[in-house]
Structure 1
Amino acid sequence: MKKHIVTISTAAILSSAFASSTMASTYTVKSGDNLSKIANTHHTTVSKLKRLNNLASDLIHTNQKLTISENAKTAASQITVEKTKTTTYTVKKGDYLIKIANKYGISLAELQSWNKLKGHLIYPGQKLTVSKNGNKTIIELPKNDAPTINNETSTTQTPAAVSTYIVKNGDSLWAIANKSSVSVTDLKSLNNLKSDVIYTGQTLKIGKSTLKPSEAVATSDRTENADKRVDRVISEAKKQIGVPYSWAGSSPSGFDCSGFVYYVFKNAGYQISRLSSSTYYDLGKKVTSPRPGDLVFFSPNEGSKSVISHMGIYLGDRQFIHASSSKGVRISSIDESYFKKRLIGFKQL
């Protein structure tokens, strides 16, 4: 009798330090303001204002909140709760690694990595992890309200050369950079970020673009840029048709399913990490109406929704391109009996 054990572990990580003061004072920039004027009004210096607010230049924009005093410098506090769902398999007599990997639709490299195996030796009764699925929830902690120096309202004006974006729950620098057609490096430089950590509600400068404050790219430009990126992705993918399957492969000499997606998106200009199918599924944004360029995911068994074993790139018209373990890179239909019964859903990078 086959045994599958599913375990769920939860870890809470304090993602930023508690640092808030009831004596904090801030100022909301009004039309016509500049750093020198604000510094003189509040009896401080331009250099101190730039240091307190991590400003790389003298550029500020209307409605921007500036820290005026040392006591006002605060760090948002939030807790990230990570849940990992793990499925295990008990080795039986006659089993070997590649057989188990194929059974669960994972690569040999993933199986060895998850179980910290240096070789191919396994024994009956040994428990092996055969899938890992996780999700992350960000909980925003209450913050002390800091009184503002000036409560006057003004008409929202944003210089044409600067656009901003407010971080939403589930966002990452990589996702924001791709959405805004900028690089992660430029995004970090523009916002003086020392790491990839961002938090919900944070205002990020996007740079010279058509972005409106706190919004994504304007509809017409977003559509045009998205279409160009999708064309590059599909073009790169079709160049690899016929390349043979190779476990853990991520080059034209051989691909596995996730390695194929990684190679295609990277060569299409995306900043993307080499991850497993299940991790791409966890990181992606769920879509109900798939479009060309979206990712499509499958399970190893009919009716199963808990294990991600295969993925590909959706081409439209119910077609997708993928690295098949039997025939290499090829185009298939989602309506084929095998895939139709194992379809889990679509995600967008």
Structure 2
Amino acid sequence: MREAVFVRRRAPTWRALEALLDADGPDPDALADAYVRLGDDLAYAKTFFPGSAAAAYLNDLSAQAHAQIYRNRREERGRLVRFWTHEVPMAVWHARGALLASLLLFVGAVGVGVVSSRGDATFVRLILGDGYVNMSQANVEAGDPFAVYKDARQLDMVLGIAFNNVRVSFLAFAGFFPGVPVPGASVGTGWVLVTNGIMVGAFAHLFAAEGLMGEWLRVVMIHGTLELAAIVIAGGAGLTMWNAVFLPGTYPRLVALQRGARRGLTIVVGLVPVFLIAALLEGVVTRRTEMPLWASLVVILGSLAALVGYFVVLPALRGRARSADRGLPESRGDGAGVRGSTPSAPSIPATP
């Protein structure tokens, strides 16, 4: 490729990076993405056009970008607020495809659990264990089918549930096979989603077979709405991380893994309030099975509205707003960039 053709093709990307450097508080992900791409262009120019104006310009631009990214500065005020209101929603927006895949996989597994339980009476015992099934049936016969939520002290139950929720969600994120201390990549994440989905399906059928499906939804989904959503979202975060290894795009696989891991971990950290609230509901509210239907619906629908608002609506608003306000062309679903005027120095080499 001739130098003039190279400059003409890549100039829009360089101008977009100049605009980022000139902007007040540029988006860190967009700046890092542009810097990585600039490094590729600089290496190409030094290899095929050594000593050229293009190589000198790219070297100067790379130095400016490096200084902008790695300079030491005090942490801005409101950093924690920005994390919850911008960084987590943007990470969810970038991972929306993986999150949808995680949801479909989990719902499909729940369906498998229900259908398998209907077709084979021993399937529920295979999945949940004889002890749990016998206990549940004894509770049903005693007229208190959800007595299991009343057995432990509230504080102990809340702490235990919170720990278990975090454990399962991190398993879904990291993609570890249960009992095997080796990452299974996206296959492991899928395995955690499928096994938990089948378990939920078998659990639901256990009560549906007793004519208690309505009661199961009214009681269990008080905490289950948040709990199951957390598993699905953590699974989507895991798919985002591990799929970056198999589909790195223009990045080296290690760089793609680092980017995917950072994005996935941001989502999982954003789930911490969901873990805690779900544990609180299960340990304190779910045990009150005598609650009227309207009270249960308030909790369930309120939880669902909060999930949709934070993990669907807000990410969509943030993502579309940034796509409209930034000038960098959307790449790998990032939609990063800033619209702005091109700085006068350093200038892009003119093409003959």
TM-score bracket, shorter-length normalisation: under 0.3
Is the strand fraction higher in 1 or 2?
Answer: 1
Q: Please, what TM-score do these two structures have when normalized by structure 2? A: 0.23
Q: Please, what TM-score do these two structures have when normalized by structure 1? A: 0.24
Is the helix fraction higher in 1 or 2?
Answer: 2
Query: 1 or 2 for the larger relative contact order (CA 8 Å, sep ≥6)?
Result: 2
